[in-house]
Amino acid sequence: MNYILTDEDMKILFSRIKEEYDTYGTVEKEGDIVYEKVDGFESITFGRSRYAPKEFLIERNENVLNLPVQQKKAVFGVMSCDLKGFYVMDKQILGKDPFYTQRRQNTLFVNFPCNVECEGGFCSSFGGPLLDEFQIQVARDGDDFIVSASKEYEHLFDGFRKTGDEQIRKLRKNFLKNAKQLPVEGIENRIKWDSKLWKKYSSVCISCGACNYSCPTCYCFDLFDQDDGRIREWDSCILSGFTSTSAGNVRKELDERLRQRFYHKFVYYRKSQGEYLCTGCNRCTEDCPVDIDIKEVVTHDYSSE
């Protein structure tokens, strides 16, 4: 169901949600947008967060011998590229990883779709920014908000003005008018195992792992024991220790590890889960210190090699 809400209505909606959840949102801090605990709708800034909000579901580092009881959280301001990341990861880990699953079930993500595609971003290539899957979606339309809620959250909207889906369709059309859609569809069949791209990237990549850590869909981890427990920690497929076994690393060369990252995103996940493991947020490109751009992997002419 869709509703038209004013600024005042949004404050009321926020306080209704606050009665059931601990509330977090995007706020401006030292020139960046970050997630913090917030007490009112007026504290929230619309804009893409510096870091993907995956930490709400997958902690950087935690002891997996104890499953802590998860407080119900509502997170306001989640951009569509980051929200899509959760739906994409769900396919692989929801119901299998008890930590992720418990947090996913106890977290309400309030999605703020963008009105125009951001510089460098390519979410429109993956169906963004007005996604079909969401819990609550808050789209700015002039002075008002067009707010859509899935069935489970409709009780929060009692007394608000209902509307059809014409405005949403109009917003989607306006967004797509200026979006730079890339030819993602079918990349799993075009990409080439021995492409010259992998050597080109490995000649400059410094194996920092930033592309993985900043990605809303990278969920790989390392597991090790220490005195106080068994620790699970974010890992990166670009690092030389990734998938290392007593027999050594299965991907010894950096170009093999870089290829693995792109093949996981654009080939293996697509074939096993029906989705690309990328949402077009462009964070990996922005955070790469040597300017490796994932968009080149999508647009490269493999047939000419």
10 versus 294: smaller Cβ distance to ligand SF4: 294
Residue 281 found at the interface with ligand SF4 (CB under 6 A)? yes
Q: Which of 70, 181, 207, 249 binds ligand SF4 (CB under 6 A)?
A: 207
Q: Which stretch binds ligand SF4 (CB under 6 A): 70-78, 100-108, 112-120, 279-287?
A: 279-287
Binding mask 127-166 for ligand SF4 (x = CB under 6 A): ----------------------------------------
Distance in angstroms (rounded) separating the CA atoms of residues 255 and 196: 10
Using DSSP's 3-state secondary structure scheme, residue 190 falls into helix
Q: Which of 138, 215, 297, 298 binds ligand SF4 (CB under 6 A)?
A: 215
166 versus 185: smaller Cβ distance to ligand SF4: 185
Q: Which of 211, 233, 240, 247 binds ligand SF4 (CB under 6 A)?
A: 211
Burial class of residue 178 (count of CB atoms within 10 Å of its CB; 0-12, 13-18, 19+): exposed
Smallest separation (angstroms) from ligand SF4 to the CB of 40: 31
Residue 107 found at the interface with ligand SF4 (CB under 6 A)? no
Residue 283 found at the interface with ligand SF4 (CB under 6 A)? yes
Smallest separation (angstroms) from ligand SF4 to the CB of 25: 21
Residue 238 found at the interface with ligand SF4 (CB under 6 A)? yes
Distance in angstroms (rounded) separating the CA atoms of residues 166 and 36: 34
Residue 237 found at the interface with ligand SF4 (CB under 6 A)? no
Place of tokens 């929200």: 83
Residue 4 found at the interface with ligand SF4 (CB under 6 A)? no
List the structure tokens of 180: 């730079």
Distance in angstroms (rounded) separating the CA atoms of residues 214 and 82: 11
Among 9, 12, 7, CA closest to 162: 9
Q: Which of 34, 93, 208, 237 binds ligand SF4 (CB under 6 A)?
A: 208
- Per the DSSP assignment, residues forming a β-bridge with 229 are 226
Place of tokens 């968009």: 295
Distance in angstroms (rounded) separating the CA atoms of residues 237 and 260: 8
Q: Which of 24, 214, 232, 255 binds ligand SF4 (CB under 6 A)?
A: 214
Give yes or no for a contact between 239 and 221, defined as CB atoms under 8 angstroms apart. Answer: no
Give yes or no for a contact between 124 and 117, defined as CB atoms under 8 angstroms apart. Answer: yes
Distance in angstroms (rounded) separating the CA atoms of residues 251 and 288: 21
Binding mask 163-202 for ligand SF4 (x = CB under 6 A): ----------------------------------------
Burial class of residue 193 (count of CB atoms within 10 Å of its CB; 0-12, 13-18, 19+): exposed
The residues in 247-276 that bind ligand SF4, with binding defined as CB under 6 A, are 265
Binding stretches for ligand SF4 (CB under 6 A) = 205-211, 214-217, 238, 265, 278-284, 287-290, 292, 294
